[in-house]
Structure 1
Amino acid sequence: MIVLDNNVPQISLYYEPVIGDSVPEASRRDWDVSYDLGDSWKQIKKEKRKNSSLFKVDIVVYPELKLRNLVITQIYQVLFNLNPAIEVSLWKGMKFIGQVIIPVYNEYGSSYEQVRQGYIALSQSVRLPYNIFLTATIGTFNNYRWGGTLDAKYIFKDERFSVDGRIGYTGRSRFEDWRWKVSPLKRFTWNIGGSFYWPEYNTSFSLKVEQYLLSEKGIRFDMVRNFRYVSIGFYGMKVQNAGNKGYNGGFRFQIALPPYKYKRRGYIPRVMPSEYFGMSYNAGNEQYYGRSFNPRVDDNMATENSFNPTTVQRNFLRHDLN
C-alpha cells in the first residue's frame, strides 16, 4: 500500500505476517512502514487511486490565537481570529489556497481590526529519487510577507535522520484601509539543518542555522514530542542583535481538532475546521530579531510528523486488523 499526499507518494506499508504467529489475524507488527517505496510505486502508480484529492475543494476554517506581554498594566494582550480558506488540488502535487482573516477579538491594535487577506498561494510538491522531497511556493504568507520559497528535505537510509532546508525571497505585504500594499522583493531568508527522530518516545530533535527577516543570523534547537492528537515542542535560539545577549526560547503546541475523520461525497466541497490548532509562546518577548515566516498555512510541527513511519504504525494501524 502506498500513501499519497495530494497524489505525491509519501510512504509504503508492506504486510508480511510474522513467522510463527499462531493468531490468524493481522496485527500491527505484521506491517513494515517506510519512506522507501521499493519497486511498489513503479508497479502501481498507473492504477486508479482510492480517495484521490485531485480537483476537489475544501473550505477549511483555521482558528488563530496569539498572546503577547508588552503592557505593564495587562498580563497578556489577546488576538483571536477565524480564518476560512478555500483549498483546491489542481494537479499532482499542486495546491491552491485562498484565505480570509476575520477578526473576532482584538487587543493588538487598529491594524488588526480589518477583514483582510491571509495566505493566497500556489504550492507545488514533488518527490525525487533517494527520498528527496521538494516544495516550491509562491504567494502571500504570514508575518506580512509575499514572494517565493523553496523547501528541500532528504531522509537517510536510517530513517531516524534527515536534513532539510528552506530558501525564501520575499518582500513586505500588508492589507490596510482596504488596499494591498507591497514592497519589492529584496529579502533573502534561509535555514539549513538536521533532525533526529527517537522512535521509542515519538520525539524529534532538530538543529538549524538560519537567516531571518532583518538579515540577522542565528541558530535554533527544537524538541517536539508527538502524541496521537497533540504535539508539544520547546525551542531555544541564539540570534544576532537580539536582546538578552541574543538568547531566546519558548514552547509550541498543536492540537488535533475533532472530528478526526472526514468523508467526501464526490466533488461536493467539504466544510471543516483545520486539522490542527496551535500557537507558540515567545518567552524572551523579542519583537524584532529572529523572526521568520511560514509559506504554507497547513505546515506545522504536527503535519511534519504525520507521515513518519512510527507515527503511522502507532496511530493509524490498529492493533488487530481483520
Structure 2
Amino acid sequence: MNRFLIAILLSAGSLSLRAQVAERLQQLGMENIRTVTENGNTTIAFEDNVYRGTYRGIGKAIIAAMEGMSQGNLQMVVLENRIPQLCIALSERVVTEYKEKRMSIGEVYRQMEISHDTDEAMEILKGTHHTLNSSAGKVDIVVYPEVKLENSSFDRLYSYYVNLAPAVEMALWKGAELTAQVVLPIATNLNGQYKKIRPGVIALSQEFYFGKGFLGRVTAGNFTNNRMGGQAEITYRTANGRLELGAIAGGTVQSVLTDDEGWYVSRKLRMNAALKASVYEPRFNLQFEVQAARYLYGDYGVRGDCTRHFGEYAIGVYGMYTDGEINGGFHFAIPLPGKRWSRNRGVRVRQADYFALEYSMTTWGKYTNEKMGETYKIKPDENRSNRFFQPEYIRYFLIKEANKQITNF
C-alpha cells in the first residue's frame, strides 16, 4: 500500500513539473510543446514562431523552462516546422544555481551543452503524443519587400523594381508547409510582367529528419526567377555545426506572365544540381560556403561565399567562375522592425523578419546574354540570417545579449 501511494505521489509530482515547464513556454507563445519527465529529469521540445531570428526566442525559452523546474536535469529540443534542429542540455546544478541567483544567465549560456545531436532527446520524446499549442493550421500573412537594382543596359544607368509581395504561409502536418504569394509592383522602369500583378512563390514543401545529422526537403510549385517544377535536397551537418554538406537537384520549366498568353508555362524542362559545403568559424562568426553546380541554362561552375554574422545581420561577398566567365558581388540580410509577433489566433498579419539583397557586378556581355549562373529560390524568406541554427553562433550571441543587459542595467 505504501509503495502504491509513493508511486502515485511521484507520478503526480512528475505531471506537475511537466505542466509548470510547458505552461511557462506556452505563456511565451511557444508552439508544438511536448514534455517528458523521467527519473526527475525533464525533456521538452518546443518551436518558436514568435521571436525574430533564432537565438532571442531560445534564450527566453531557457529562462522560462529553468524557472518552471524544481529538480533534475533539463533537456530542450528546438524545433523548426516540427523538425528537430538543436538540443540544449542543462544540469541540475546549473538550474539550481541560477534559480538561487548564484549564477548569471550569461554563465548558464556558457555552461549549457548545445548541438545538432537531437537523436537521444527525440527518442525520449517519442513516448508522448500530446502536443500543446500546435502550429498546425495556423496561417501567417507575411508582407515581403522585393528590390532589384541592376546595371545591365546602355540606355539607362540602372534597371530597377520595387515590389511588395504578401504571402500566405501555413504549417500543415509535421515538416510540411504551404506558401502562396502574390507580387504587387510599386515602382519599376522595366516593362512586361514587371508592371503586372503576378504570382510569386506558390509551393508545397515537405521536410524530413533522418537522424544522425541528415535532413531532407522536397518542394514542388512555382518558384522565383520565373521557374515552376520541383526540387529535392539533402543536408548533413556535424553535431557542433561547424561543417555542413549538401546536395540539390531540381527540374523546372519557365513560368511567366505575358501580354499575349497570360500566365505562360513552357514545356522545356531544365535541370539544375549542386554539391555544397559550408564551414563555420566561431571566433569571428564567419561562414564559408563553396558549391559546384550545373545552373539552369546548362553552364557549369563553382561559387564561393564568405559571410560575417553580426547578430541578426549577415553581410558577405561572393565570387564565381562558370564556363570561362567570372562574376562576383555582395549580399546582405538585415532585420526589419518587429522583434516579436504574437500569434494568439489562427491568422496573423506581419511583415517579413528580414530584408535580403544580392548584388552582381557582371550584368552584361556573354555572362548576361547566355544567362549564366542562373538559379532560383523555393521560399520567399531564404537568406543567411533566417533559420540559422548554428550552435556556436547561438551561444555567442546569447552571451553577448546577456552581457549587454548587465551593462545597460
Confirm or deny that 1:35 pairs with 2:116: yes
Helix, strand or coil for the counterpart of 2:393? helix
Structure-2 residue corresponding to 1:261: 340
The structure with the larger Rg is 2
* Code of the aligned partner of 2:80: D
1:56-205 correspondence runs (5 A): 56-72=138-154, 74-157=156-239, 159-177=241-259, 179-184=262-267, 186-205=269-288
Structure-2 residue corresponding to 1:281: 359
Verify the 8 A CA contact 1:7 1:54 in the aligned structure 2: no
Verify the 8 A CA contact 1:7 1:52 in the aligned structure 2: no
Structure-2 residue corresponding to 1:237: 320
Which structure shows the bigger proportion of residues in strand conformation? 1
Shift of 1:84: 0.3
CA distance in 1, matches of 2:263, 2:159: 26
Q: Runs (4+) of structure 1 moved beyond 4 Å?
A: 47-51
CA distance in 1, matches of 2:200, 2:228: 11
* Code of the aligned partner of 1:278: A
Structure-2 residue corresponding to 1:9: 84
CA distance in 1, matches of 2:285, 2:190: 36
Can you list the C-alpha shifts for 1:79-116, whole angstroms capped at 9, x where unaligned? 10000000001111000000000000011223310001
Between stretches 23-32 and 77-86, larger displacement belongs to 23-32
Verify the 8 A CA contact 1:170 1:186 in the aligned structure 2: yes
Shift of 1:201: 1.4
Shift of 1:14: 1.0
User: Percent identity between the aligned chains?
Assistant: 32
Give the number of aligned pairs: 314
TM-score by length of 1: 0.91
CA distance in 1, matches of 2:351, 2:224: 19
Verify the 8 A CA contact 1:169 1:185 in the aligned structure 2: no
Can you list the C-alpha shifts for 1:20-56, whole angstroms capped at 9, x where unaligned? x893444321221110014211212436445542211
Can you list the C-alpha shifts for 1:243-301, whole angstroms capped at 9, x where unaligned? xx41110000111111011111132x111111211111001224211111111222222
CA distance in 1, matches of 2:173, 2:275: 29
CA distance in 1, matches of 2:268, 2:231: 12
Distance 1:49 1:257, change over 3 A: farther
Shift of 1:158: 5.1
CA distance in 2, matches of 1:210, 1:130: 26
Between stretches 176-185 and 63-72, larger displacement belongs to 176-185
* Code of the aligned partner of 1:76: Y
Verify the 8 A CA contact 1:257 1:275 in the aligned structure 2: yes
Helix, strand or coil for the counterpart of 1:91? coil
Q: Which of 28, 34, 44 is the matching residue for 2:125?
A: 44
* Code of the aligned partner of 1:39: E
* Code of the aligned partner of 1:174: V
Structure-2 residue corresponding to 1:312: 394
Confirm or deny that 1:295 pairs with 2:378: yes
Q: Which of 265, 268, 272 is the matching residue for 2:350?
A: 272
CA distance in 2, matches of 1:52, 1:310: 29
| Backbone CA RMSD of aligned residues | 2.2
CA distance in 1, matches of 2:190, 2:385: 27
Verify the 8 A CA contact 2:331 2:357 in the aligned structure 1: yes
CA distance in 2, matches of 1:75, 1:259: 34
Helix, strand or coil for the counterpart of 2:283? helix
Helix, strand or coil for the counterpart of 2:154? coil
Unaligned residue ranges in structure 1 (runs of 5+): none
Helix, strand or coil for the counterpart of 1:291? coil
Between stretches 41-50 and 174-183, larger displacement belongs to 41-50
* Code of the aligned partner of 2:110: R
Structure-2 residue corresponding to 1:206: 289
Verify the 8 A CA contact 1:70 1:76 in the aligned structure 2: yes
Verify the 8 A CA contact 1:18 1:29 in the aligned structure 2: no
Verify the 8 A CA contact 1:6 1:89 in the aligned structure 2: yes
